[in-house]
Amino acid sequence: MSKFDHIRPFYDTEVNQAIRGIVDDPMMKAVMNFTFPEMAESEWKRQLSRTHSIRDFQINFIYPAIEMVLKRSSEGLSYSGLNQLDQHVSYLFISNHRDIILDTSLLNYVLYNNGLMMTSSAIGDNLVKRPLLMALSKLTRNFVVQRGLSPRELLESSRLMSEYIQDLLFHENRSVWIAQREGRTKDGNDETQKGVLKMISMARGDVGEMEYFKKVHIVPVSISYEYDPTDVLKMPELMAKSRSEVYVKHENEDFNTILNGIMGQKKHIHVHVDKPLDDEIDKIIKTEEPANRQFQYLSEVIDERIIGNYKLWPTNYIAHDLLHGSEQYIEKYSPEEREQFQERMAEGIDLQDEVAVTNFLSMYANPVTNQEALKIKG
C-alpha cells in the first residue's frame, strides 16, 4: 500500500485488468468505433486484451484517438518551442487551461511526436465520477485532485498532492502537467493562482521556495484554440458571475463539456512550450524579497510567458474589434472570417442580451487585450 494509492494512476501491472473491466462498456465501444471506424470490434478488443502498460495504451489507442479528433473537428494543430527541452529531463509544465481533456492530450501528443517524455497530469475528481472516465483517466497517467474539501482536508490533500508531484519529478523522472489555476479559464484571462504555486512547494522540506522551483524546472505552456469548442457552454457561469450570483453546475454538465470539447469545432490549434524558468527564478531569488512577494513575482512571470506566447487567431481580433466597435485589427482577418464568427455567436447566444454579447466577445477578446497590456508594460 502507498499513501498515493487513492490519487495515483494505474501501475502497469494493473492496466490489463482495468482494460478488461471497461472493454464492454457502451461508451468504450463508442470511443473505439470513433477511433478505428474500419476495424472490427473483435479486432480492437483483441488488441486491447494484449495491452499491459500505460505507454502502450496511450500510443496504440489514445494517440490515434487524438489524431481522429484533430481530423474531424479541427483544421490542424501546430506547435513551437519543443527544441528548448531535453528528452532526459523531467519538467513541471504549468499551463493555461481551456478544455478539460484536450489540453493535456494535445500537449502529450506533441511531446510524443518530438521524442519527449509524456506527462502525468492533474485532473479534478469532479470530472471522473463515472467509472469509465475514472478508468480512462488512470489509464492515461492522470492523478486525481480532490475537490470540495473542508479547509483541514484541503490542507492535507494539498500536502499529499505536493509530495506526489515531487515523487513523480524526482524519483520517477516523470514530467508533470498542472493548470495554472483551479478549473478552466472561462473568460479568456489566463492568470496563475499563487495558491497553486504554494501547493507545489509544500513538499520542499528545508529548501527555500524559489530554490525548489528551480529544481522542478517550471515550463509555461500556452494552448490556443481558434474556436473554443465549449464557448457557449461557458456562458451560463459567466452570466452568473456578471450578476454576482453563485453558479451551480447541472448534474451532467462536466460530462457534456468533455464531449463538446472533444467533438466541437476548434478550427486551428497551437501549443507553445516555453523554456524552463530557471534564469528568471534566479533573478527572483536575488531580490531577497519576502516569500509572499517572491510568489507574486513568479506567478507574474508565468502569466507573462503564457499570455505572451498565446497565439492570437482571427477570432480573437474579430471579437476585440466587435467588443470595442472599432476596426483596429481589421487587417488580421477577412470579411468571411468575421461573418463566420458572428454566425457562430448568433447561434449560441441571444444577440439582444447585451451582457451575453459582452461576455461572449470578451472570452475571445481578452487574450488580445492582455497582450496589449504586456507590450505597454514592456
pLDDT of 377 reads 81
pLDDT at 246 over 90: no
List beta partners, residue 145: 124
Q: Which residue type is seen at 10? A: F
Residue 272: what pLDDT? 98
Q: Could you tell me the pLDDT band of residue 367, with boundaries at 50, 70 and 90?
A: very high
CA torsion through residues 278, 284, 287, 291, sign = negative
Task: Give the model's pLDDT for residue 114.
Answer: 96
pLDDT score of 193: 94
**Phi-psi domain of 203 (left: phi exceeds 0; alpha: psi -120 through 50; beta: other):** alpha
Q: Kindly give, in sequence order, each residue whose CB lies less than 8 Å from that of residue 16, ignoring residues fewer than 6 positions away.
A: 49, 51, 52
pLDDT in tens, 106-145: 999 999 999 999 999 999 988 888 899 999 999 999 999 9
* Residue 187: all three cell numbers together: 473568460
Rounded to the nearest 5 degrees, what angle is found at the Cα of 107, between the Cα atoms of 103 and 112?
150
pLDDT of residue 241: 82
For residue 165, name the pLDDT band (cuts at 50, 70, 90). very high
Share of the chain above pLDDT 70, in %: 100
What integer pLDDT is reported at residue 100 of this predicted model? 84
- A 10 A CB-CB count for 43 gives 12
Asked if pLDDT for residue 343 goes beyond 80, the answer is yes
pLDDT of residue 39: 96
DSSP for 261-319 reads HHHS---EEEEEEPPP-HHHHHHHHHHT--HHHHHHHHHHHHHHHHHHTPPPPHHHHHH
In this predicted structure, the answer to whether residue 252 has a pLDDT above a threshold of 90 is no
CB 36 within 8 A of CB 44: yes
For the ranges 36-40, 231-235, 262-266, the one whose mean pLDDT is highest: 36-40
Query: With contact defined as beta carbons under 8 Å apart, do 59 and 113 qualify?
Result: no
Are the C-beta atoms of 167 and 343 separated by less than 8 Å? no
**How many residues are given for the chain?**
378
Q: Name the least confident of 58-72, 75-89, 232-246.
A: 232-246
Cα–Cα distance, 287 to 290 (Å, whole number) = 9
Q: What is the pLDDT of residue 195?
A: 93
Q: What is the pLDDT of residue 174?
A: 97
229: which residues sit within 8 A by CB, 6+ positions away? 73, 99, 260, 261, 262, 263, 264, 265, 266
Say how far residue 208 (Cα) sits from the centre of its chain. Answer: 28
Residue 373: exposure state from Cβ atoms within 10 A (0-12, 13-18, ≥19): exposed
Instruction: Using the predicted structure, report yes or no on whether residue 244 has a pLDDT greater than 90.
Output: no
Looking only at the bridges linking them, the beta strands covering 176-179 and 76-80 are: unpaired
- Chain-centroid distance of CA 295 in Å reads 22
Cα separation, 125 vs 302, in Å, equals 26
Given a cut of 80, whether residue 250 has pLDDT beyond it is no
Q: What average pLDDT does range 36-49 have in this prediction?
A: 96
Instruction: Quote the pLDDT of residue 247.
Output: 73
The answer, as to whether pTM is greater than 0.85, is yes
